[in-house]
Amino acid sequence: MRPIIPFTLFLILLASLLLGSPMALAIADKEDTQAEESHNFILFWEGTNPLMKMSDLVAYCAPVFWFSPDEPELGTRQGKDIKIPAPFPFDDDAETPIVYYQVPKVIVSSDGDYYEPEVNEKNIGDTILDLSKIYGFDLDYNHYYRFESGLGGHDHDTEQVQFKIYVHRYESATGATYQLYLLQVTAKAHALMWYDNIYKVNRDNLNEELELPFHIFVEEGKHASITDMNADGYYTPGYDVNVRRNDAWGLRDVIRTGALFSPKFEGWMAKVRQDPHRVFPPLPADSPHRAKHSRNGEYAPDNAIYELRPMPSHEAALPDKALAKDMVSYYSEGWPVTKELSGEAKFFDWWQAENFIHSLAVAFRWNDVAGVSFCFPLLIVKNVEAPLVGGWLVNRIYLQDHALRDFGYNILYTPSASRFLDGYFAAGLEVDFYESPGVDELFRSTDFVYETGIKLRGNVKYSPLKFLSVLTDFWGVRLGVKAKGFMKIDELSYVLEFGAGVW
């Protein structure tokens, strides 16, 4: 048996020991008999009536959209005169901005009686939700623009922000009280999951600077969504985005000029937001966050307030195929969908597990001889982000030479998974089988190896190579230099890899 097989089995065993049993989210159960301390900075609403209209739910949790002062679709408009986000061309026009909502998922427990909301077919916003039977929601807010300018500009641009909301219930002497808490905001950027700007509430280290209603930057001309957790008008990596920080797209207003400038976010790419370019949600009258944005009893007196409408199907855009194509990835078929979860897994599966991206990269390899290379998460089923500096640690196995008889194993570090240009470093062992002239015997040598270089990655989904996206959206090239020997380098060689996957 080749050493590669037991080594792989060893990795799997190691992963199972490290991962252990599923981690339960430290949020109070719905059957708590005492009220917890109220964290107002992540509390959207609380009340004693468990019955709530869907249109009210999405209004309590809806975000503020904050535009660049130089947004092309704004022109010179500001304050009450702002008319974006816009309604879809096939939809009714409006005097105010329009944002489209969906409730794609309703989380219920499988431990009790099954519950599924009875959808109002005439007006889905009038659907009544029973909070006493619900653990949480996924909420989507879609915003549409008539055109996108800058690099790769085109007509029609639909973007999305996703919220995860936890429903908490506690009992007191006066009865049950229900609360809607923020868990996570995912601001989508350029239709690529790795670019998502994600802010996740940390229950162990809550940031009291978090501001509700939650603020979303809209990238100038390109309209990507970006989280601004403290509503200060500045984008701060690691603060406004605290998940996959190195891969998050950030706020790159400068690409409206038509240039990317740099594969990673730089502070000078983002313009400071100003108050007249905020567009507010239609918060209900009893929202605890309405008063702080009111003056003399008038809510948001100097700013536009958008209207919330249910998200229409992409089929409604036909015969405009370009618009339908732009909408299709943001529409959830058959919403709302009920998802049952039970036991400790009910929040781990819904909230935490979706933060781990499982990935595999496969590439053709050339290093004096032809071969194939595989990269996969460090813990097999879970990616590992490097502490402090960010980036990723992954396994790499390669096979090469005659009948792929030689093999190597590396632990590879790369600062990001998704940047179009980035570096990498790998170190490990290589086993080389070789013949000696005149001897009918196969010899073997084992060496420490390390490798460094650059990788170029790109999303082929919207390129002339889009046929490759059948396997994966990301394809790329790795160019490196490999050295053998630990304290003394015996030989140097070039490495070329081409294949599919982010690593």
Domain boundary pick from 314, 336, 355: 355
Asked if the structure places residue 30 within a domain, the reply is no
Distance of CA 436 to the CA centre of its chain: 53
Structurally, how many domains does the chain consist of? 2
Asked if the structure places residue 15 within a domain, the reply is yes
d(CA 18, CA 10): 12
Give the pLDDT score at 182: 94
Domain boundary pick from 355, 383, 417: 355
Q: Based on the fold, state whether residues 350 and 368 are members of the same structural domain.
A: no
Helix then strand then coil, in percent of the chain rounded to 5, is 15, 40, 45
Residue 468 has pLDDT above 80, yes or no: no
Give the pLDDT score at 14: 41
Structure tokens at 151: 């690099």
Boundaries of domain holding 329: 40-355
d(CA 245, CA 198): 8
Closest CA to 91 of 323, 352, 300: 323
Residue 234 has pLDDT above 50, yes or no: yes
Residues 132-179 pLDDT 10s: 999 899 999 999 999 999 877 889 999 999 999 999 988 888 889 999
Is the bond into 319 cis (omega within 30 degrees of 0)? yes
d(CA 453, CA 482): 9
Structure tokens at 130: 């029973």
Alpha-carbon torsion, ordered 304, 309, 313, 318, to 10 deg: -60
Closest CA to 499 of 377, 409, 408, 364: 364
Give the pLDDT score at 343: 57
Q: Based on the fold, state whether residues 340 and 483 are members of the same structural domain.
A: no
CB 229, CB 236: distance < 8 Å: no
Residue 34 has pLDDT above 80, yes or no: no
Domain boundary pick from 355, 375, 392: 355
Give the pLDDT score at 31: 41
d(CA 342, CA 501): 34
The mean per-residue pLDDT over the stretch 411-420 comes to: 91
DSSP 70-102: T-TTTTT--GGG---SBPPTTSPP-SS-EEEEE
Asked if the structure places residue 34 within a domain, the reply is no
Give the pLDDT score at 315: 94
Closest CA to 71 of 56, 85, 60: 85
Q: Based on the fold, state whether residues 361 and 298 are members of the same structural domain.
A: no
Q: Give the gyration radius of the chain's Cα atoms.
A: 26
Asked if the structure places residue 370 within a domain, the reply is yes
With cut-offs at 50, 70 and 90, classify the pLDDT of residue 204.
low
CB 341, CB 110: distance < 8 Å: yes
Asked if the structure places residue 454 within a domain, the reply is yes
Give the pLDDT score at 118: 93
d(CA 311, CA 90): 12
Closest CA to 164 of 61, 249, 244: 61
Give the pLDDT score at 350: 57
Asked if the structure places residue 230 within a domain, the reply is yes
Q: Based on the fold, state whether residues 288 and 411 are members of the same structural domain.
A: no
Across the chain, what does the average pLDDT equal? Answer: 86
d(CA 416, CA 237): 14
Closest CA to 361 of 400, 309, 407, 397: 397
> Which secondary-structure segment (H or E) carries 322?
helix 321-328
CA distances for 453 relative to 92, 207, 483, 497, 502, angstroms:
54, 38, 12, 11, 15
